[in-house]
Structure 1
Amino acid sequence: MEAERFSLEKTRWSSLFRAFTDGASITASTHRQALWKRNKATLWYYPAPVKKYHTPLYLVYSLVNQPTILDLMPNTSLIGALTKAGYEVYLIDFGIPRYEDRDMTIDDYVLKYIQPGARHALKHSNSNSITVMGFCLGGTLAAIYAAMAKEPIENLILFVTPVDFSYFPKFDLLHQAIKDERIDLSPLTDALGIIPAAFINYGVRLITSPVYISPYLSLLEKGHNQEYAHKWSLFNKWTKEHIAFPGAALKQIVNDLIIHNKLMTGKFKIGGEPARLQQISANLLVIASTNDELVPLEQALPMITLSGSKDKELIQLPNGHTGIASGAGLPTNLFHWLSSRSHPVHIESEELI
């Protein structure tokens, strides 16, 4: 009995030690292939083992983290769950911007990466329409794209996506100072050109976990479970893999979204053309978290009323900000909602007989 207890304790403390020393990188767990590249960006294709739906999924992840969270481990992979359900999945991976990308704007992300990526996905899948699925700030970009897209978007699914930037409960005084233009971030962005990943990491930590201790306590408690320890290690690595942010894009976000809240007023433009959320006609599913410190409900819920979609639905979950994206606790009603709006292969085949 004592030997068994000693073995568990040894495993537990070894897991904690590895958390500070393990330098392994995160790799994709679902089979994929690169279809298209531009600058640092890659369009990835994840085939379904058995294709069950004609409408493919096109994923747009955030600009501040790498999208590896969507395919972290086989048993907790959102992409893996979608391909196993019979969907062809495409992911636009923006890559890691460098100093030479400092002038990239939101217009560039939408018009030079998201839109061409969608066109390549449509052509490759030989589909008449596509489902766009956006996450966090990537969801904001996906909504902006859907508002001005000429491509046939069947469904728009937004995970913890901010559209109303008037609500920042944790930094209300700083937010108000930026809105009143008493604080000007332009000198900083102009001087740096591109915001370093470390700055992004510190900003996220200020909002969520200024004192980053509880995850390590959790690991110490459950570290004897090797599967849990491995998953914890991968997730912890991902949380530290923030990426640099182009200064021009940040200035546009501050001016157009935070100061003037143009998505809410309908004045946001892409390439000089209006991108009003009221112009979205795709079937809309908004998935928001009731326990999200990064994107509170107040930032995400207005999408339901702003959208011009006739078919729209809201799912609220208790997961944190990253719990949904990591495949943990995916709602079954997400799959029910999506399957009935994705043109099942077998139904159309039967109709042709």
Structure 2
Amino acid sequence: MAVKSLLNIPVLNLETEKQRWNTIYKVLSEPKPNIESTPRKAVWKKNKSVLWYHPASEKKYNTPLFLVYSLLNKSYILDISEEASVIGNLTKQGYDVYLLDWGSPGLEDKDLTLDNYIIDYLEVAVKRALRHSGAKEISLVGYCIGGTLSAILTSLTDLPIKNLVLAAVPIDYSDVIVPDKWVKAIQNGTLNFDRFADAYEVIPSEFLSAIFMALQGFNIGPTINLVTRAHDQKYVDKWRRMDKWMKDAVTFSGAAFKQMFNELYKDNKLVKGEMKIGGQKVDLSNIKCSTLVISSTRDELVLESQSLPVMDLISSEDKTYQHEEAGHVSLCLTGQFAFAIDPWLSERSTKVNNG
């Protein structure tokens, strides 16, 4: 039933409005959706971490991809749905894909450092991927903090990393999306996360979710979008998946948490060349492989000024800087990331000889 307009006021369709709010109520009250992954199998496990192998639908390249996502969020954002899966689209494009799922540390993992994650987990996992694939070289693709760890590993390791892709990657922490008062407090020691980390030993997922939301200014945009587009079932399904991922944070090792905030956020040691991993100084100029750096134009978490400096710090002769019209999360959520890196990677990956 529609209410007639007498003063040129838009007609209100009560049935449509009822359906809209019923949909919103259902979304907010029903269980979170199940996320089904692109076909995969586990090829290596260590503690809470799993190395997943996603075979190409029809293999076109002998150079596999190794995806590294952030330590602060769950990696299934890269495989969020069949039609919007970064991993799924990459396998359809002919790449064998490996993904390191870091897992969520327990109290027994409180002493895990960034050194452990890079040397004992990431480097070993890349070795396993090379062994499993039988490939002579591999492409390392890091997203957000996963990109930071990937850049560090590439600068230290002698593994045959043919291509390096760094997307939405924080490298320079002199300019970050954090309230100015936070920055000053962190830099002068007023805001000290060491005591907090020591008290909890493993940072609760709820706290990381709160930080994530705070850095986005407690953005209510997604909720407004749900209200205005509740009639669009495809959008509602995508919204539910994003909402699940946003609220599905991981725990974080207290030792790694302290190291990240002190050495990166506070002292900016990576850019200054003062950071050490496994007793070895991290020198990004050691990176000589082909490198692609991607920034998102609407990134609400990592500024372009945090990513761009890596272009001058590395020694690669073949290096490309690329802008994508997307946000920090939407670049993955829509599957757009797969199409953004394919043209560059396809030219630099060894093709399968079908002759």
TM-score after normalising by structure 1: 0.93
Q: How does 1:83-122 map to 2 (within 5 A)?
A: 83-122=91-130
Per-residue deviation, residues 48-98 of structure 1 (Å, max 9, x unmatched): 111000100001110111011100011111001100000000000011111
Contact 2:138/2:160 (8 A) holds in 1:
yes
* Residue 197 of structure 2 corresponds to residue 183 of structure 1: no
Q: Residue 28 of structure 2 corresponds to which residue in structure 1?
A: 20
Q: Residue 220 of structure 1 corresponds to which residue in structure 2?
A: 227
* Residue 85 of structure 2 corresponds to residue 77 of structure 1: yes
Contact 1:28/1:68 (8 A) holds in 2:
no
Larger deviation: 324-333 or 29-38?
Answer: 324-333
Distance 1:11 1:30, change over 3 A: farther
Q: Residue 43 of structure 1 corresponds to which residue in structure 2?
A: 51
- State the secondary structure of the residue aligned to 1:76: coil
Distance 2:86 2:314 in 1: 26
Q: How does 1:1-353 map to 2 (within 5 A)?
A: 8-210=16-218, 212-330=219-337, 332=339, 334-346=341-353, 349-350=354-355
Gaps of 5+ in 2: 3-12
Distance 1:202 1:338, change over 3 A: same
**Superposed displacement of residue 44, structure 1:** 0.4
Contact 1:9/1:224 (8 A) holds in 2:
no
- State the secondary structure of the residue aligned to 2:336: coil
Q: Residue 6 of structure 2 corresponds to which residue in structure 1?
A: none
**Superposed displacement of residue 324, structure 1:** 1.3
Contact 1:15/1:220 (8 A) holds in 2:
no
Distance 1:41 1:93 in 2: 6
Contact 2:177/2:301 (8 A) holds in 1:
no
Per-residue deviation, residues 128-152 of structure 1 (Å, max 9, x unmatched): 0000111111111111111111210
Amino acid at match of 1:155: N
Per-residue deviation, residues 111-137 of structure 1 (Å, max 9, x unmatched): 111111101111111100000111111
**Superposed displacement of residue 222, structure 1:** 1.3
**Superposed displacement of residue 110, structure 1:** 0.6
**Superposed displacement of residue 105, structure 1:** 0.4
Per-residue deviation, residues 239-290 of structure 1 (Å, max 9, x unmatched): 1111111110011112211222111111221110122111111111011112
Per-residue deviation, residues 294-344 of structure 1 (Å, max 9, x unmatched): 101111111111111111101112311111122443475521111010111
Distance 1:103 1:37 in 2: 19
**Superposed displacement of residue 168, structure 1:** 2.4
**Superposed displacement of residue 234, structure 1:** 0.8
Amino acid at match of 1:108: N
- State the secondary structure of the residue aligned to 2:183: helix
Distance 1:332 1:238, change over 3 A: closer
Amino acid at match of 1:99: L
Contact 2:86/2:338 (8 A) holds in 1:
no
Distance 2:112 2:297 in 1: 33
Q: Residue 5 of structure 2 corresponds to which residue in structure 1?
A: none
Distance 1:109 1:200, change over 3 A: same
Contact 2:90/2:338 (8 A) holds in 1:
no
Distance 2:40 2:177 in 1: 40
**Superposed displacement of residue 171, structure 1:** 1.8
Contact 2:177/2:302 (8 A) holds in 1:
no
| Aligned positions, number | 347
Gaps of 5+ in 1: none
Distance 1:125 1:35 in 2: 10
Contact 2:65/2:95 (8 A) holds in 1:
yes
Per-residue deviation, residues 170-216 of structure 1 (Å, max 9, x unmatched): 42232122222233221111111011111111111111132x43212
Distance 1:327 1:282, change over 3 A: farther
Distance 2:157 2:18 in 1: 56
Distance 1:216 1:296 in 2: 24
**Superposed displacement of residue 8, structure 1:** 4.1
